[in-house]
Structure 1
């Protein structure tokens, strides 16, 4: 029995019966992971049940592909990873789609971040290639943040001269990125996408690149409709992805624009909101 995905502005998911869901897509930080960056308890049995039912589970994150694979090493086979905010989609090591960034644009962003740093902004660029991420800063405080999202990273002298296909440039700002770094990179928004992907992160990508575009491409390839798609997100880089699913959930405590855009509201990431919603909507008994 299918239930209608009518707008639901409460912390609970519908309970009229299991929905016809074929694809579950979730953001990681602030959504699936708790604030301590931990996967929720009970995730593996739920993923096994989803696989048994023929439901594809797909992480969609600003994180690097290699980082996502490490997080889901136990169940990565057959899983589709929407990495780097949708610019790189991979299944079993095979690229399904990508949206490379022009090298001159990537270099321009890196140079702009250098100028910000010279003006006293505590920020650094992470130039994201398909093989690795590349940084110029080598201080431990900055690298500790980079390691959380880019397990494959290299310190280089010049990130504007790389032998890799660049797919985005991420900028980490120790201050509030939405008020400092994002406005400083606004000039790139005339031709490219400048998106605040977290409290301290800004990503610069092609205009055609976002999680929503990657998800729609995956839906077309798999023959899955928005009505059969469930999506979870919490921040501004999740907005387009929410638009691609009728079962779109903002996490409690999400950015106000995300809450306004989503059809439903799930419990917070610290209250196991993704798993509790999946199990309730799909009628999965406690495992």
Structure 2
């Protein structure tokens, strides 16, 4: 689909019941912070029975920490769609197939031996795990994983593995992706930003997660708003009639979305939600 005029927000009343929002490059500002102006809007949405759900490659523990003020009723799509939680209830959980984690770890280790500066995060249901613990790598990992353990051998981790994330200090699409592309026959391999690649169970993405949440809540695409900016948000754009790509979005995401919102540094999510919430239904 082709986006309408830049920064256009449909006028009139909207029967909105679900708002799903990516984090990095979408909701978070240039300093990686949630805009203060979001919280009053979330309060308004709650009063109107609208569910607000962050959708991120970040783990559940990190999102719960960032949105702690929303309490136990928080709804999140974590690990790029591998885990959907509504309050304390798991809506969907999609661990990697048996043996896949070891094949990924082996591929990344081989890429590192070949001279590339990469590191691996095994994302489990209980915690995330790394075996590389130098300051440079940990500074890239810690902001995304509040529950994090350093282990001697990633292949010895005993946890339900939801995702494996690979950080490339160079260009992930150009350097690390070719070393992992052979795994695309059995896994979902997604470049989630310039430096990160996420590997998940086949068929898992944020779009599938949104549909699972819609089914659980009894919400339709016509009642759903989604915001995103990068390739791991691509499938979300087809789950909502009110789909917004940020002005800073990847061209493929902008082409898939119905509308364009201002950039994350211009607080585009907040600006757009204010407009959409101007006219309550009923």
Question: Which bin holds the TM-score, normalised by the shorter protein?
Answer: over 0.9
Q: How far off is 1:191 after superposition? A: 1.6
1:3 is aligned to none
Q: Quick one: distance in 2 between partners of 1:261 and 1:176?
A: 24
Following superposition of structure 1 onto structure 2, how do residues 177-216 of structure 1 map, counting pairs within 5 Å? 177-216=172-211
Extract unaligned runs of 5+ from structure 1. Answer: 1-5
2:90 is aligned to 95
Q: Quick one: distance in 2 between partners of 1:284 and 1:202?
A: 40
Q: How far off is 1:122 after superposition? A: 0.5
Aligned pairs, number: 280
Residue 132 (structure 1) aligned with residue 127 (structure 2):
yes
Matched residue SS, 2:189: strand
Q: CA RMSD in A?
A: 1.5
Q: How far off is 1:42 after superposition? A: 1.1
Matched residue SS, 2:142: helix
Q: Which among 242, 251, 269 is matched to residue 247 of structure 1? A: 242
Matched residue SS, 2:227: strand
2:221 is aligned to 226
Alpha carbons of structure 1 residues 94 and 223: separation in structure 2 relative to 1, 3 Å: closer
Residue 258 (structure 1) aligned with residue 246 (structure 2):
no
Q: How far off is 1:51 after superposition? A: 0.2
1:26 is aligned to 21
Check the 8 A contact 2:229/2:250 in 1, yes or no.
yes
Q: Quick one: distance in 1 between partners of 2:85 and 2:114?
A: 38
Extract unaligned runs of 5+ from structure 2. Answer: none
Q: TM-score, normalised by structure 1?
A: 0.94
Residues 112-121 or 94-103, more deviating = 94-103
Q: How far off is 1:20 after superposition? A: 1.0
Matched residue SS, 1:198: coil
Q: Quick one: distance in 2 between partners of 1:106 and 1:11?
A: 42
Residue 12 (structure 1) aligned with residue 8 (structure 2):
yes
Q: How far off is 1:77 after superposition? A: 2.7
